[in-house]
Amino acid sequence: MFKRILIANRGEIALRIIRACRELGVESVCVHSQADAGGTWLEQADRTVCIGPGPSKDSYLRIDRIIAAAELTHADAIHPGYGFLSENSHFAVVVRDSGFTFIGPSPEAMNLLGDKVNCKRMAKQSGTPIFPGTDGGIEDLEEAVKVAAEIGYPVIVKAAGGGGGRGMRIARDEAELRAGVDSARQEAAAAFGNPMVYVEKYLEQARHFEVQVIGDNHGNSIHLYERDCSSQRRHQKLIEEAPAPGVDPAKRDRVCASAAALIRNAKYCGAATCEFLMDKDQNFYMLEVNTRVQVEHPISEAITGVDIVQTGIRVAAGEKLPYRQEDIRINGHAIEFRINAEDPDRNFMPQAGLVETWAPPGGPGIRMDSHVRAGYRVPPNYDSMVGKLIVHAPDRATCIQRSLGALKEFKVGPIKTTIPLHMRLLREPQFVNATHDIKYVERLLAAK
């Protein structure tokens, strides 16, 4: 096991990693920006190092300064958390070449799965279901037109180097496809430094289903079942739940096992997520693989009892996965609510500034992952998420009831948060009946 881990992140995930380190008997070093000086989570780290001014590009994204801090403090490993440098394979290379262990996949595995075209090819070989479309990147436009005619419109043009909804074009006929390929290629070249685009069938109505997987450096991988993340707005998730409601157990087992096979074939070490869309007949189509620990990992921890962050550190240190697939069972239902410092009534305007009141809920099945307390000042420089409420209960209906109570108890002020929106969404018949899809929050907000 490591002696000392440097955490290249901030806020709630830095705190989550500090807690995991403590339980493993590992010291933690937390780097931070000037804007985060005095941050509550820093009190919990064994050491802290200021690495630059508030803007991320001058601190949390400064590879040279993070490596210098690791050298200065004699850390032996670096945990990137999520966001920032977590999916940057160049960072993973520099960490390794500087003599530290990157807590996450090798840069090779990161690149194999991070390239969407290559990831789709590997998925096909691993028996992971994918959308019909072009085999690999588009070499010439006529080939794309031919494939689109075969699979039928609408189709979607995506960038191999894209992800998270960036660089996509929907085409409803041949003319739109011809225009879409050209503009997507130009945008992809500028945004990702890789002009490769591909075409696949576009699914209009779907739920977002993502499988939590974890691998080690001994050829093992398991899945921890899935999360449904359909409650989102502009690719920002609001509510996630595990397991996905109403899914046929045999279909679930098959798609989850295929996700574990995919990361095994990529020799992947650490936590990852295989994202899928699920249609109304419960057919699955893989979208992409996230090569990091995700914001919403706690709901998978709740239903499986596996500590994902701790396990990620163990496998990075060379240990074998301490579970076999047969050890993993779904226990109850869990829902996570992202508490964002945003005003849902003012187009989700970010709410930086002093938090005077912070009274989180408690009771059975309630977990709060947050770095905030009364008196904390939300800096304007970073993501607006100020905490996560995770609710666990024996079944989905009980979990929704318990969540309504917890959100009612939760008092935050004077900054506005997403708490009232969550209470509204929990009462929506579409959510309650699990007939919602990836567009329902946006439809609801548009209808007002």
Catalytically annotated residues: 292
Residue 288 engages ligand MV4 in binding (rule: CB under 6 A): yes
Cα gap 52→58, rounded to integer Å: 6
Report residue 234 CA to chain centroid gap.
Answer: 15
Task: Answer yes or no whether residue 5 interacts with ligand MV4 by CB under 6 A.
Answer: no
The window from 54-62, 134-142, 200-208, 333-341 that contacts ligand MV4 (CB under 6 A) reads 200-208
Shortest distance, position 400 Cβ to ligand MV4, whole Å: 21
Q: Give the CA diameter of the chain.
A: 61
- Region from 6-14, 42-50, 201-209, 252-260 binding ligand MV4, contact rule CB under 6 A: 201-209
Binds ligand MV4 by CB under 6 A, chosen from 438, 440, 441, 444: 438
Q: Is 200 in the site for ligand MV4 (CB under 6 A)?
A: yes
| C-alpha dist (Å) from residue 293 to 80, 104, 269, 300, 361 | 9, 8, 12, 11, 25
- Min dist CB 52 to ligand MV4, Å, is 31
CA distance 121 to 130: 9
- Which positions from 105 through 164 interact with ligand MV4, judged by CB under 6 A? 131, 156, 164
Q: How far is the CB of 171 from ligand MV4 (least distance, A)?
A: 11
One residue of 95, 103, 203, 399 binding ligand MV4 per CB under 6 A: 203
- Site for ligand MV4 (CB under 6 A): how many residues? 16
What residues from 236 to 275 belong to the interface with ligand MV4 (CB under 6 A)?
275
CB 27 within 8 A of CB 74: no
Q: Does 209 contact ligand MV4 by CB under 6 A?
A: no
> Considering the complex, what minimum distance in angstroms separates the CB of residue 182 from ligand MV4?
19
C-alpha to C-alpha distance for 294 and 307, rounded to whole angstroms: 13
What distance in Å separates the CA atoms of residue 375 and residue 358, rounded to the nearest whole number? 8
CB-CB contact of 68 with 79 (8 Å): no
Q: Are 90 and 112 in contact (CB under 8 A)?
A: no
Does residue 232 touch ligand MV4 according to CB under 6 A?
yes
Which residues lie below 8 Å from residue 196, measured CB to CB, with a gap of 6+?
A: 117, 137, 138, 159, 160, 161, 188
When asked if residue 226 is in the footprint of ligand MV4 (CB under 6 A), the reply is no
Contact 410, 389 (CB under 8 A): yes
287 in contact with ligand MV4 (CB under 6 A): yes
| Selected range binding ligand MV4 among 2-10, 35-43, 199-207, 220-228, rule: CB under 6 A | 199-207
- Stretch of 31-39, 138-146, 202-210, 424-432 lying at the interface with ligand MV4 (CB under 6 A): 202-210
How far is residue 27 CA from its own chain's centroid?
Answer: 26
CA dist 189 and 174 (Å) reads: 23
Instruction: With beta carbons less than 8 A apart as the criterion, state whether 278 and 209 touch.
Output: yes
Among 48-56, 73-81, 195-203, 367-375, the segment contacting ligand MV4 (CB under 6 A): 195-203
Measured torsion, CA atoms of residues 368, 371, 373, 378, in degrees rounded to the nearest 10: -130
Q: Which three-class secondary structure state does DSSP give residue 118?
A: helix
Question: Nearer Cβ to ligand MV4, position 100 or 209?
Answer: 209
Q: Which residue is nearest to ligand MV4 (CB)?
A: 165
Indicate whether 318 belongs to the interface with ligand MV4 (CB under 6 A). no
Please give the residue ranges that form the binding site for ligand MV4 (CB under 6 A).
131, 156, 164-165, 200-203, 208, 232, 235, 275, 277, 287-288, 438
